[in-house]
């Protein structure tokens, strides 16, 4: 999701992170090796480990973040709130803490309840640019301090939205193109399909 992207717009210089690896996994989220990040998102792709974090305020609103226009996949789409890939040996919680600070300037002293609430597998293509094939962990966190300092290379827009209204009345938000992994995570969360023990639920 975040930072696997090569330059958009047909540039010949690859994004620096295209040379990085992601953790390849089987359907049970067990590591099977490492795969080049760009290779994992092109051609037929390769299943790999990822996470998405749902960030709330104390009134229950969710923070939506618009992916930067330089993203190769789902550019300018709205995510809820950050998403990326842990590196080898990194926990989902540690990876989320890192991305929250790097992308939004959110530090651990602004929350105390970051936790994994679900995990699912999905595969979806994006136009002719590539695809995501991920076992995606879902983490939730509530901010006691909502001060933000977004990195505009990663995020180009922010919006606090009523979580229930977003789920129950998507037509009210039709101007927002939502990332597919966020839509799956929100639906599973709202419909009570989350898996508290961390096992994998499958989305085909």
Residue 4 annotated as binding site:
no
CATH, domain range 16-191: 3.90.79.10
- 77: Cβ–Cβ under 8 A, 6 or more apart, which residues? 66, 67, 177, 178, 179
Does the annotation count 127 as an active-site position?
Answer: no
Both tokens assigned to 54: 């749902």
- Beta strand pairing status for 115-126 and 82-84? unpaired
pLDDT at 20: 85
Instruction: In whole angstroms, give the CA distance from residue 114 to residue 90.
Output: 15
63: closest CA among 84, 79, 85?
Answer: 79
Residue 121 annotated as binding site:
no
Q: Which residues of the chain have pLDDT under 70?
A: 1-18, 194-204
Residue among 134, 153, 191, 203 flagged as catalytic: 134
Domain limits of the chain? 16-191
Residue 191 annotated as binding site:
no
DSSP state of 5: P
Residue 132 annotated as binding site:
yes
pLDDT at 10: 45
Exposed/middle/buried for residue 62 (C-beta within 10 Å: 0-12, 13-18, 19+): buried
Please report the sign of the dihedral spanned by the C-alpha atoms of residue 196, residue 113, residue 68, residue 157: positive
- Count CB atoms within 10 A of the CB of residue 182: 24
């Amino acid at each position: 999701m975040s930072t696997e992207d090569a330059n958009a717009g047909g540039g010949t210089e690859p994004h620096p992170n295209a040379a990085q690896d992601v953790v390849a996994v089987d359907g049970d989220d067990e590591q099977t090796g490492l795969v080049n990040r760009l290779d994992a998102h092109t051609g037929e792709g390769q299943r790999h480990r990822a996470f998405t974090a749902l960030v709330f305020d104390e009134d229950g609103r969710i923070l939506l973040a618009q992916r930067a226009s330089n993203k190769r996949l789902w550019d300018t789409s709205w995510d809820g709130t950050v998403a990326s890939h842990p590196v080898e040996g990194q926990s989902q919680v540690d990876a989320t803490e890192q991305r929250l600070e790097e992308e939004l300037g959110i530090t651990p002293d602004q929350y105390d309840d970051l936790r994994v609430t679900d995990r699912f597998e999905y595969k979806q293509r994006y136009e002719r640019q590539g695809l995501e094939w991920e076992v995606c962990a879902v983490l939730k966190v509530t901010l006691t301090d909502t001060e933000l300092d977004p990195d505009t290379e990663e995020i180009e827009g922010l919006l606090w939205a009523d979580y229930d209204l977003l789920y129950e009345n998507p037509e009210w938000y039709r101007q927002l193109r939502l990332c597919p992994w966020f839509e799956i995570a929100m639906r599973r969360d709202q419909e009570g399909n989350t898996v508290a023990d961390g096992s994998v639920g499958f989305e085909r």
